[in-house]
Structure 1
Amino acid sequence: MANLPLLLVADGPSALGVDSYQWVSIAMLVLIGVFVWKKVPGLITGGLDNKIAEIKSQLDEAKDLRAEAEKLRDEYAAKIAGAAKDAEAMMEGAQREADAILEKAQADSEAMVARRKRMTEDKIAAAERDAVAGVRAAAVDAASIASRSLIADKHGADADKALADEVISSL
């Protein structure tokens, strides 16, 4: 067996003098021809073009949505900034109003203290007048009682007659 010539043996059956690998090549050429005849590459490229157009429209829509979202974000950022300014203005207004109320309350309390001081001074003055009047009345009563007793002790009928004559002559 060592001296036997090498014979090429085909791997598979052959028909019409064509080996199996050649039949596969012929079948592939026929299949490619049918694909070209039925315009399959055009259908594939058309489908791919449609898919590309659909993806492009989705990208355009996404760009539009992004632009709209950015516009809304900027709008709301402006609104927030405006609201912050409004809140700051409100706080300043409230502070001014509180200061004005405080100043008015302070002025009102000073006026009330001054009024009450005047009322108290008036009451003290009235009490002093009443006290002075009471002291005067008591002094007058005491003087009249003292003068009565002095006159009664020192004056007699002769002194009364001389005093009456003197008063009449001065008239």
Structure 2
Amino acid sequence: MKHLLSLALIAAASPALAASGPFFSLKNTDFIVLMAFIVFIGVLVYFKVPGMIGGMLDKRAEGIKADLAEARALREEAQAILASYERKQKEVAEQAGQIVEHAKRDAQAAADVAQEELKASIARRITAAEEQIKSAQDAAVKEVRDTAISVSIGAAKDLIAKNMTAADGNKLIDESISDVESKLH
């Protein structure tokens, strides 16, 4: 409400309302202002200011249109580049997946080969251990046999020495010599 009142007071205090007398008089400020405005507009038209302003506005509009066209072209180029990068990213992701898959297959193949080599190595070691055990058994059996033979020969020698007379010994020696002669001839 205060605003309306202040607007009314400003309008009442304007110089146009303060003028008195006939309108087409130099004492009337409204007429003087109107004449000055018409002269100002005439000067502007004489110097072709509206045409210049229109030309500048047209240039400005053309510049804005050119900027918009360039912005559209840049946007389309950016979208094309973005699409290109997205395609490249997909290709790289696919290649990475293939590389990972290939690496997994290679790792599995290497693990299989290593497992087979380990099995073969274990089999060789088992075979070598079995051969060593057999060799040790054969050596132990031979040693036991040699010991048994030695013990048996010693026991037989002692028995024969106790139970045999000199005549029996000579008789055995003669039989052995004749036996050897018959086998050698």
TM-score range, shorter chain: 0.7 to 0.9
TM-score, length of structure 1 as denominator length: 0.80
Structure 2: state its 5+ residue gaps: 1-17
* Match 1:147 to one of 119, 144, 156: 156
Q: Confirm or deny that 1:105 pairs with 2:145.
A: no
Identity of aligned residues (%): 35
1:93 equivalent in structure 2: 102
Cα pair distance change 1:15/1:135, threshold 3 Å: closer
Greater CA drift, 156-165 or 96-105: 156-165
Tell me how many residue pairs correspond in the alignment.
Answer: 162
Q: Distance in 2 between matches of 1:87 and 1:15?
A: 91
**CA-CA distance at 1:128 after TM superposition:** 0.3
Q: Distance in 1 between matches of 2:127 and 2:42?
A: 124
Q: Confirm or deny that 1:41 pairs with 2:54.
A: no
Higher RCO (CA 8 Å, separation ≥ 6 residues): 2
1:109-153: CA deviation from partner (whole Å, max 9, x where unpaired): 212211211121111111101101111111111110121122212
Q: CA RMSD in A?
A: 2.6
Q: Distance in 1 between matches of 2:38 and 2:128?
A: 127
Residue type of the alignment partner of 1:78: R
TM-score, length of structure 2 as denominator length: 0.74
Structure 1: state its 5+ residue gaps: 1-9
Greater CA drift, 128-137 or 90-99: 90-99
Q: Distance in 1 between matches of 2:132 and 2:85?
A: 68
Q: Distance in 2 between matches of 1:97 and 1:134?
A: 54
2:71 equivalent in structure 1: 62
The secondary structure found in structure 1 opposite 2:120 is helix
Q: Distance in 2 between matches of 1:16 and 1:119?
A: 138
Cα pair distance change 1:15/1:97, threshold 3 Å: closer
1:129 equivalent in structure 2: 138
Residue type of the alignment partner of 2:20: G
Cα pair distance change 1:12/1:103, threshold 3 Å: same
